[in-house]
Structure 1
Amino acid sequence: MLQQFGFTQYESKVYQALITVKAPLDASTIVKHSEVPRAKVYEVLQRMSEKGMILESTVQNKRLYTALPLESVIEKLRAKFEENVERLRETKAQKTPLDDRVWSLKDNQSIQVLIKNMIQQATTSITISGWSDDLWQYIPDLEAKEENGVTVAIHSIGTLDTTISSLSTLIPDPQHETLERSRIIITDETEMLFAGMEQTQWHAIQTRSRPLVKFFTEFFYHDVALTEITRKHKDTILADEYIRDVLLKLRY
């Protein structure tokens, strides 16, 4: 009866004997109804008492036992099961090793699907950069995330129509030599993806490696800082031929 819930055969037999007889029983009567050996019955009764499965009482110097009601046992076992499941879940989460491997991915559609999935799975923050004609497809999800309390920061190359509060926009200079198609996304400060063009084909790397996540986060804000500095001091910067040439060779 109770063996499938982790009780021993003798424990199950004692409980079944008690639950099938309405009156309290002494040890001798339990032996008779359960067929548990007399030499073992007191040991079994002690364990069942410690597990809260039976009630005890002494009447006229005789020790009597009765079973915890079946519905109470069912509720007890259910609560114990849920407690064990939760403990197992917490143990698994605590012992999950960090996957710091770097994964590579090809094919533009696959990369776009992975970016969309990263956005949907984010719970605290999203940092993303790319060209405006590429980023627009993610805007509905990004705006929904921001409305739900996720911190969203975008660096867009080209004008982007969005309600996202943290938006940096770079309007490319026609003279820019190295401005290439690329995408960066960092989610929850723990996972990143960088994608770029190689011979007209998209290639991406994705990882949870802490050093790489930190590097690409700083890379993102490097682009944002240069964009804002250029925007605010464009006339002064472009008037200096050396500084202008250096800026135009940068990737941002």
Structure 2
Amino acid sequence: MLYKFGFSQYESKVYETLAQTMQPMDATMIVKYSGVPKAKIYEVISRMVEKGMVLESISEKKKLYTALPIPLVVEKLTAEFQADIQELERQKAKKEIVDDRVWSLKADASIHAQIKQMLLEAKNSIRYSSWKDDFTAVLPILEEKEREGVAVEALSVGEVRSELKNMAVMEPNEQHVTLERFRLLIVDDAEAIFAGMEDGSWQAIKTRSQPFVRVFTDYFHHDVLLTKITTKYNDVLMNDKEIMAQLLQLRY
């Protein structure tokens, strides 16, 4: 009976023999009725006692044994089975391998498709920044994700009309000679993609590597903060040539 639950054949025979009688039995009687070899009986009984399937007692200097009642066996095996399932789930989570490689991607259409897919799969948070035209292309997704409860932070280079609650807009001027086109997306604090122009063509890198994701997240917050500062104190900064010259060297 217990053989199907991972017990050995001898263990199953010992339990069945004890369960079929109302009277406690000693090792000699168990050997007689179970068919377990005498040389093995104490080893088998000891294992069953350790597993909680057999109870032992000493009466008149003789060890007697009885079986755990079947209803309790069912409860015990069920509880252990559920515990094993939970442990298996925990082990599965522990062994889940994160792909921390850095992938390169080329072609504007492919990069846009990748960004769109990442946005649609976002569960908790989105941080996205890009130039106005690229921003407008994904704006409906950003607004829908925010309505679904995803935390969205955004930065647009160029004014965009949007319903987003947490959005910054940076208006470049003719002095921003080093400002280059870019796209940056961080999803769920777990995956990032950064795209830029090189020799007139879009190129991007995508990664789940946490050090890179954290760097890109800091990069995003850096851009947002600088945008807010330069917007709020534009008149003051424009009159300070030294600070303005340094600010214009930044990519934001």
Q: TM > 0.5 between the two?
A: yes
Query: Which runs of 5 or more structure 1 residues have no equivalent in the other structure?
Result: none
Task: State the shift of 1:183 in Å.
Answer: 2.8
Change beyond 3 A, Cα 1:59–1:241: closer
Change in 2 beyond 3 A, CA 1:116/1:203: farther
Instruction: Work out whether 1:139 is the aligned partner of 2:140.
Output: no
Equivalent residues of 2:182, 2:197 under 8 A apart: yes
Asked if residue 48 in structure 1 is aligned to residue 48 in structure 2, the reply is yes
* Counterpart contact for 1:155–1:168, Cα < 8 Å: yes
The root-mean-square deviation of aligned C-alpha atoms, in Å, is 3.3
Aligned counterparts of 1:93 and 1:152: Cα–Cα separation in 2 = 27
In structure 2, how many angstroms separate the alpha carbons of the residues matched to 1:127 and 1:214?
12
Aligned amino acid, residue 206 of structure 1: K
SS in structure 1 of the partner of residue 148 of structure 2 = helix
Pair 193,75 (structure 1): closer, same or farther in 2 beyond 3 Å: farther
Residue 199 of structure 1, CA deviation: 7.4
SS in 2 for 1:73: helix
What residue in structure 2 maps to residue 193 of structure 1?
Answer: 193
Instruction: Name the aligned partner's letter for residue 69 of structure 1.
Output: P
Query: Contact 1:26 / 1:64 at 8 angstroms: preserved in 2?
Result: yes
Structure 2 equivalent of residue 162 of structure 1: 163
Compared CA separation, residues 54 and 186, structure 1 to 2 (3 A) = same
Other-structure match for 1:127: 127
1:17-166 mapped onto 2 (5 Å cutoff): 17-59=17-59, 62-94=62-94, 99-105=99-105, 107=110, 108-117=112-121, 119-120=122-123, 122=124, 126-130=126-130, 131=132, 132-133=135-136, 134-146=138-150, 152-157=152-157, 158-162=159-163, 164=165, 166=166
Structure 2 counterpart of 1:234: 234
Q: Residues 77 and 168 from structure 1, CA distance in 2 versus in 1: closer, same or farther, beyond 3 angstroms?
A: same
CA separation of 1:234/1:44 partners in 2, compared to 1, >3 Å: closer, same or farther? same
2:13 alignment partner in structure 1: 13
Cα distance in 1 for residues equivalent to 2:164 and 2:31: 77
Q: Report the number of matched residues.
A: 242
Is the CA contact (8 Å cut-off) linking 1:129 and 1:185 kept in structure 2?
A: no
Counterpart secondary structure, 1:183: strand
Structure 1 contact 193–204 (Cα < 8 Å) conserved: yes
Q: Could you tell me how far apart the structure 1 residues matched to 2:38 and 2:128 are?
A: 73
3-state SS in 2 of match to 1:145:
coil
Whole-angstrom distance in 2 between the partners of 1:71 and 1:160? 68
Distance change in 2, residues 1:96/1:240 (3 Å): same
Query: How much identity, in percent, do the aligned residues show?
Result: 44
Secondary structure in 1 matching 2:169? strand
The answer on whether the counterparts of 2:193 and 2:204 sit within 8 Å (CA) in structure 1 is yes
1: CA distance, partners of 2:241 / 2:212 = 34
